[in-house]
């Protein structure tokens, strides 16, 4: 019985080669959309697949029909980081703390999820990915930091910011 | 009280909406047909290597599970006989050890030293260590401080230190007067090899951590081989 329990179970696991073949053009395309340069986009695509390989043990547990967002979000965020480096500016994200107003989500239950969905759409790419990785895929802050090449604190702060922003948008306030 | 309830609702709503969002976005991305792109040779070569590596890793991972099955069977048997359990514990740590060239290939540690995993700091969820060491070295101690841990190896009274540094707190001071510096190529990327008459240090970094090896009486090639062997020992220790 014990032996049976620990034998390999591969039924629902996405194969890395399969992921690569399925998404290589989409990853390239997502990166090219941001970088507008073939070589840089290939570099970003390559880095994306290395990140996927690094966290493969975790990623293979994502259901196959939910994998596409994960993969393209990694590609976009890698491209954004690369663009920031190319432009010699590191202001894509800062570490300024922004914990204000978290508790001010008064009467959240009156909002419907459709509005929240639309609000998520309006978030900056990186904040959106961090938020969805945490709440949608259930990754830890540490895992998200590794996947998106950010510091854990940056992830925490940005998830908090995203939540603050959603709360503001839900209250109908203008985004800052 | 209300704030707490709002927080809970917000969390629940976020989980639900995030999950829906991911499903819809993924379906939309999967439905799109991406334009084919003629990738460069370097990309193809690099990715080919990565795919092969991942497929090998999977095979080893499965082999490991089967091996674990066998080990579990031994353990079940050993429960009946305490003498077997004791003998097994003593030998378990050397189970993967074998000689290869001038190196001892080990499973994350060398010789008859138990790996005191509790000595690693909690802040390091991922613990890395060399999986190959120059012959004769064994684990002497594991130390940790603010943002780092060190594994001290020893051979005939001479120490070799492997250090893993949290990327947030990485600082390096290199003695330029008595040491030479050169860049070396490692599996993880570029490394800085600083060497003097009696000692040398190899430093490199990944997205996650900074690493260094500091020792005496070793060749540049020893440092590189050791650095290239660094592997993940345990994940999410927390």
pLDDT in tens, A37-67: 888 888 889 889 988 888 888 888 888 888 9
Mean predicted confidence (pLDDT) in B91-103: 35
Residue found by looking up tokens 């949290």 in the block: B166
Element (H, E) at A48: helix A38-54
Q: Is the pLDDT of residue A2 over 60?
A: no
Mean predicted confidence (pLDDT) in A17-33: 90
Note the pLDDT of residue B230: 85
Note the pLDDT of residue A99: 28
Q: Would you call B29 and A136 a contact, using CB atoms and an 8 Å cutoff? A: no
Contact B212, B202 (CB under 8 A): yes
Note the pLDDT of residue A11: 39
Rounded to the nearest integer, the mean pLDDT of chain B is 71
Chain B interface includes A26 (CB < 8 A):
yes
Confidence band for B79, pLDDT divided at 50, 70 and 90: very low
Q: Which residue has the higher pLDDT, B233 or A104?
A: B233
C-alpha distance from A39 to closest chain B C-alpha (Å): 8
Using CA coordinates, name the residue in chain A closest to B19: A136
Chain B interface includes A72 (CB < 8 A):
yes
Helix, strand counts (H, E) of chain A: 9, 0
Chain A interface includes B60 (CB < 8 A):
no
Element (H, E) at B185: strand B180-186
Q: Which residue has the higher pLDDT, B170 or B105?
A: B170
Note the pLDDT of residue A132: 92
Q: Which of A24-28, B16-20, B126-130 has the lowest mean pLDDT?
A: B126-130
- In angstroms, the CA A148 to CA A129 distance is 9
Q: What is the side-by-side strand order in the sheet with B148-155?
A: B138-145, B148-155, B158-166, B209-215, B200-205, B189-195, B180-186
Report domain extents, chain B.
Answer: 42-83, 93-234
Note the pLDDT of residue A27: 93
Confidence band for A14, pLDDT divided at 50, 70 and 90: low
Q: Would you call B10 and A105 a contact, using CB atoms and an 8 Å cutoff? A: yes
Chain B interface includes A60 (CB < 8 A):
no
Chain B interface includes A67 (CB < 8 A):
yes
C-alpha distance from B60 to closest chain A C-alpha (Å): 11
Confidence band for B215, pLDDT divided at 50, 70 and 90: very high
Chain A residues with beta carbon closer than 8 angstroms to that of B42 = 42
Q: What is the ipTM of this complex?
A: 0.73
3-class SS shares of chain A: helix, strand, coil, % to 5: 70, 0, 30
Give the 3-state DSSP-derived string for B131-172, with helices as H, strands as E and coil as C: CEEECCCEEEEEEEECCEEEEEEEECCEEEEEEEEEHHHCCC
| pTM greater than the 0.90 cutoff | no
Q: Which of A35-49, A94-108, B45-59, B91-105 has the lowest mean pLDDT?
A: A94-108
Note the pLDDT of residue A130: 93
Percentage of chain B exceeding pLDDT 70 = 63
Tokens of A26: 């989409």
pLDDT in tens, B116-163: 666 777 767 777 888 778 877 877 888 887 778 888 888 888 999 998
Task: Please name each of the domains of chain A with its CATH number.
Answer: 14-91 (1.10.1740.10), 93-176 (1.10.10.10)
Q: Would you call B69 and A3 a contact, using CB atoms and an 8 Å cutoff? A: yes
Contact B200, B194 (CB under 8 A): yes
C-alpha distance from A174 to closest chain B C-alpha (Å): 20
Contact A116, A59 (CB under 8 A): no
Annotation: CATH topology of B93-234:
Jelly Rolls (2.60.120)
Using CA coordinates, name the residue in chain A closest to B209: A146
Residue B100 φ/ψ, nearest 5 degrees: -145, 110
- In angstroms, the CA B179 to CA B204 distance is 17
- In angstroms, the CA A147 to CA B167 distance is 15
Contact A7, A55 (CB under 8 A): no
In the stretch 88-127 of chain A, residues with CB closer than 8 A to chain B read: 103, 105-109, 111, 113, 116-117, 120
Chain B residues with beta carbon closer than 8 angstroms to that of A153 = 168
Closest among A57, A36, A6, A138 to B16, alpha carbons compared: A138
Q: Is the pLDDT of residue B17 over 50?
A: yes
Confidence band for B4, pLDDT divided at 50, 70 and 90: low
- In angstroms, the CA B20 to CA A118 distance is 12
In the stretch 135-164 of chain A, residues with CB closer than 8 A to chain B read: 135-137, 140, 142, 146, 149, 151, 153, 163
DSSP designation for A44: H
Mean predicted confidence (pLDDT) in B93-107: 38
Using CA coordinates, name the residue in chain A closest to B62: A8
Using CA coordinates, name the residue in chain B closest to A114: B17
Note the pLDDT of residue A173: 67
pLDDT in tens, A121-168: 888 888 999 999 999 898 999 889 988 888 889 999 999 888 888 777
Q: Which of A90-104, B30-44, B57-71 has the lowest mean pLDDT?
A: A90-104
């Amino acid at each position: 019985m014990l032996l049976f329990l620990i034998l390999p179970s591969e039924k629902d696991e996405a194969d890395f080669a399969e992921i690569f073949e399925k998404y290589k053009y989409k990853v390239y395309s997502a990166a090219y959309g941001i970088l507008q340069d073939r070589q840089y986009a290939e570099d970003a695509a390559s880095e994306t697949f290395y990140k996927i390989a690094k966290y493969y043990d975790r990623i293979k547990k994502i259901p196959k029909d939910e994998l596409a967002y994960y993969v393209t979000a990694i590609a976009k965020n890698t491209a954004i980081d690369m663009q920031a480096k190319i432009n010699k500016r590191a202001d894509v994200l800062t570490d300024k703390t922004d914990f204000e107003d978290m508790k001010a989500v008064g009467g959240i239950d009156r909002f419907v999820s459709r509005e929240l969905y639309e609000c998520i759409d309006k978030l900056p790419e990186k904040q959106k990915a961090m938020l969805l990785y945490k709440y949608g895929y259930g990754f830890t802050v540490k895992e998200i930091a590794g996947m998106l090449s950010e510091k854990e604190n940056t992830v925490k702060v940005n998830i908090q910011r995203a939540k603050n922003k959603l709360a503001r948008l839900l209250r109908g306030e203008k985004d800052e | 009280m209300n704030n707490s309830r709002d927080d809970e609702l917000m969390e629940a709503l976020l989980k639900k909406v995030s999950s829906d969002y991911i499903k819809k976005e993924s379906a939309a991305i999967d439905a799109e047909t991406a334009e084919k792109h003629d990738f460069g040779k370097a990309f193809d070569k690099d990715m080919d290597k990565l795919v092969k590596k991942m497929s090998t890793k999977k095979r080893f991972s499965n082999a490991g599970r089967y091996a674990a099955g066998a080990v579990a069977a031994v353990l079940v048997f050993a429960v009946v006989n305490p003498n077997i359990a004791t003998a097994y514990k003593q030998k378990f740590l050397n189970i993967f050890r074998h000689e290869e060239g001038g190196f001892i290939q080990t499973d994350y540690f060398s010789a008859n030293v138990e790996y005191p995993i509790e000595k690693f700091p909690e802040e390091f969820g991922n613990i890395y260590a060399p999986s190959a060491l120059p012959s004769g070295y064994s684990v002497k101690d594991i130390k940790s401080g603010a943002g780092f841990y060190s594994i001290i190896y020893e051979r005939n009274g001479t120490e070799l230190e492997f250090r893993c540094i949290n990327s947030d707190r990485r600082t390096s001071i290199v003695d330029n007067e008595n040491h030479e510096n050169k860049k070396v190529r490692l599996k993880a990327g570029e490394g800085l090899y600083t060497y003097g008459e009696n000692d040398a240090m190899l430093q490199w970094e990944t997205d996650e951590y900074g690493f260094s090896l500091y020792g005496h009486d070793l060749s540049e090639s020893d440092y590189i081989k050791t650095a290239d062997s660094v592997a993940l020992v345990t994940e999410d220790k927390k």
